[in-house]
Amino acid sequence: MKYVVATVLFTAPLFTATGAQADSLCQVWNVDVVQNAIAGQWSTRGATSIESVIFSTTENTVGQVVISSAGQFASASVVEGAAIPDVTLESDSAFMFDICPVYDVDGVDDILDTVEADWIADAVSGTPCGPRDLLQLTATVDMGEQGGGAVTFIPYFDDQIVMISEVEIVGDWGIAFVTEVALLTPQ
């Protein structure tokens, strides 16, 4: 059984360029500089894990993300093989904000293990620093009584961003823990 995941999440074809061909964003702490560097349309490729009392599944996902230079973003992801919906910024699209680092190397590795997407670590392994030396931009996901969580963007290079989404969704099945990780590359 396949599930369509249509939330505030993402993924796309693996970018073939190496980090050495892009500008590293290590220790760039100016939010405006980072948001300008990552503004644009992104393809995503990653995986989603959904865990609840009733079911447990991990699926590869693909999608799109649009990020403005002001830090506003919109995204969609679907199970790999499904049609990717167009993504556009709307007046109610979420904004990222700068907080202290959410993830360190072990935290990113744990999340990648959860969604069975260790290849993402390999894709960004050319970075001269770890997640703690990167500006991590986070947005809250508020679905009212249906749940919520957070989406964190970790821009390793100006052409490779790791997006991590951790959301709890409440339904007839109880609580489902949805974790998605994606590698964003320019469209």
Flag whether 14 is in a domain.
Answer: no
Q: Looking at the 3D structure of the chain, how many domains does it have?
A: 1
Q: Please tell me the predicted confidence (pLDDT) of residue 21.
A: 60
Q: Please tell me the predicted confidence (pLDDT) of residue 86.
A: 82
Flag whether 66 is in a domain.
Answer: yes
Q: Please tell me the predicted confidence (pLDDT) of residue 104.
A: 93
Flag whether 153 is in a domain.
Answer: yes
Flag whether 146 is in a domain.
Answer: yes
pLDDT in tens, 54-84: 889 999 999 999 999 999 999 988 888 888 7
Flag whether 31 is in a domain.
Answer: yes
Over 80: is that where the pLDDT of 14 sits? Answer: no
CA atoms of 93 and 184, how far apart (whole Å): 18
Task: Give the confidence band of 2 by pLDDT, cuts at 50, 70, 90.
Answer: very low
Over 80: is that where the pLDDT of 15 sits? Answer: no
Structural domain including 164 reads: 23-186
Flag whether 18 is in a domain.
Answer: no
Q: Please tell me the predicted confidence (pLDDT) of residue 142.
A: 87
> pTM of the prediction?
0.85
Over 80: is that where the pLDDT of 178 sits? Answer: yes
- Averaged pLDDT score across all residues of the chain: 85
Mean pLDDT to the nearest integer, 132-152? 91
CA-to-CA separations, 47 to 61, 148, 163, in angstroms, rounded: 5, 19, 11
Flag whether 102 is in a domain.
Answer: yes
Q: What is the CATH number of the domain that holds 125?
A: 2.40.128
CA atoms of 46 and 26, how far apart (whole Å): 23
pLDDT in tens, 105-131: 999 999 999 999 999 999 999 999 999
Computed from CA positions of residues 31, 40, 163, 55, in that sequence, does the dihedral angle turn out positive or negative? positive
Flag whether 15 is in a domain.
Answer: no
- DSSP SS3 for 2: coil
